Amino acid sequence: MAAAGEFLNYVLRSLKRGVELGGFPDDFYKIIAKPQRILAVSIPVKMDNGSYEVFEGYRVQHCDVLGPFKGGVRFHPEVTLADDVALAMLMTLKNSLAGLPYGGAKGAVRVDPKKLSQRELEALARGYARAIAPLIGDVVDIPAPDVGTNAQIMAWMVDEYSKIAGRNAPAVFTSKPPELWGNPVREYSTGYGVAVATRETAKKLWDGLEGKTVAVHGAGNTGAWAAYWLEKMGAKIVAVSSTNGAVINEKGIPAEAVLRYYQREIPFDAIPGSFVKDPDAPLYVEADVLVPAAVENVIRGDNVGRVRARLVVEGANGPTAPDAEKMLYERGVVVVPDVLANAGGVVMSYLEWVENLQWYIWDEEETRRRLETIMINNFAKVYARWEKEKEWTMRDAAIATALERIYKAMKLRGWI
């Protein structure tokens, strides 16, 4: 985790640089450097021991010039309002870059979900949905999961919202279980998108992904599924971590085992390989590709010197601090930025939302094909821009491209 406000400063720095490089006016920066609306909520939950705890939460609606606000909800013990603002800004960029008809938002509740019972977690999820209900809606603001939340939590939230609305309202939350208006691809879509972005980059930089080694930092939804799809695409997973340690295996970690750990079928140390206590070990192993897929600010000025990979693909939001990114580029290491690499989640959310609005169903293959096409086009667009601007990072190219669409929409609507 970054120090208070540090992550927001990083995102603002990237935004400012994007505005300057893209040649947009300063006033544009002034507007997008602030969220349009912030909702702060207190959620009382009756705990299993009979006492009440009051949790603090937010919904930050950053910008809706391109369409309804869209972005996940994070349950994390250290999340701050400033982090939530930064994450909402990244969603605006990510949604714009992916060509989606969405603005950007993000929700957060300061809580350690691992310390709650299922009943307490359900009460919190429903309480949060009730608290933000007046400001969300299927064409207003559409939440989804993020770190610490999942499809079950979306099921409770969509149920709570539907009760308030007095009708089933499937399109107001995305990434729901397949049995409840969700799509089976959503469970693995972020990791799948990360793998597609890695494969597309590997085709440009090298002769492809076949036989390349990959270290994955984090084994949550993004990390575990990225490992699974990267292996299917021919890569070899050589390191993976959880919050309590890491497993390293030069001969290759079977991605199936990582997935089984994520699905709580086996303990972490049952993943084949040597166990080490340092959860950051994957950042430093010898590998062609590093996929940071946990939280923000893990590759920093103070540890970037130890990173050995030639390519970093950001599965998490904001894992590379700007000073560290600069040093990586000086060493010839390419960083595929979060707003491009991890867009698979929200692109899939969009497909699910379209299905829900029409009460229509696409099958898994059809959905995955659509997701893959959008990811490939997204990558090609950013790569083409990056190739033209030799001094830029790939993040600069992604952000400038995303800002262009936002700026044009603001111009057309007369907001600037």
In the complex, minimum distance from the CB of residue 94 to ligand GLU, in angstroms, rounded to a whole number: 6
Q: How many residues bind ligand GLU (CB under 6 A)?
A: 13
Question: With respect to ligand GLU, which residue has the nearer C-beta, 147 or 209?
Answer: 147
174 binds ligand GLU (CB under 6 A): yes
Question: 144 or 334: whose CB is closer to ligand GLU?
Answer: 144
35 or 71: CB nearest ligand GLU: 71
346: contact with ligand GLU by CB under 6 A: yes
CB of 342 to ligand GLU, least distance (A): 6
Query: Residues 130 to 169: which contact ligand GLU by CB under 6 A?
Result: 144, 146
Among 136, 345, 372, 375, binds ligand GLU (CB under 6 A): 345
Using CB positions, name the residue nearest to ligand GLU.
72
- What phi and psi values does residue 161 have, to the nearest 5 degrees? -65, -40
CA-to-CA dists, residue 135 to 37, 68, 72, 374, angstroms = 10, 11, 15, 29
> Where would I find the beta strands (DSSP E) of 272-395?
274-276, 289-292, 311-313, 334-336
Q: Is residue 221 a contact residue for ligand GLU (CB under 6 A)? A: no
Candidate list 36, 201, 242, 349; residue touching ligand GLU; CB under 6 A: 349
Cβ 144 to ligand GLU, closest distance in Å? 3
Among residues 18, 57, 72, 104, the one that binds ligand GLU under rule CB under 6 A? 72
Q: State how far the Cα of 312 lies from the Cα of 307, in Å rounded to an integer.
A: 10
Task: Fill in the DSSP letter of residue 122.
Answer: H
Sheet holding 236-242, edge to edge: 274-276, 245-248, 236-242, 213-217, 289-292, 311-313, 334-336
Distance CA 18, CA 402 (A): 9
Q: Least CB distance from residue 78 to ligand GLU, whole Å?
A: 17
Measure the CA–CA gap between 282 and 218, rounded to whole angstroms.
9
Q: What does the angle CA 405 – CA 407 – CA 408 come to, to the nearest 5 degrees?
A: 65
Strand partners, 216: 240, 291
First-to-last CA distance in the chain? 35
106 in active site: yes
Closest to 151 measured CA to CA, from 173, 120, 124: 173
If the CB atoms of residues 149 and 242 are measured against ligand GLU, the closer one turns out to be 149
Task: Determine if 71 is a binding residue for ligand GLU (CB under 6 A).
Answer: yes
Nearest to 313 by CA among 340, 334, 336: 336
- 172 near ligand GLU, rule: CB under 6 A: no
Catalytic residue among 106, 176, 212, 236: 106
Residues identified as active-site: 106
Interacting residue ranges for ligand GLU, rule: CB under 6 A: 70-72, 94, 144, 146, 174-175, 317, 342, 345-346, 349
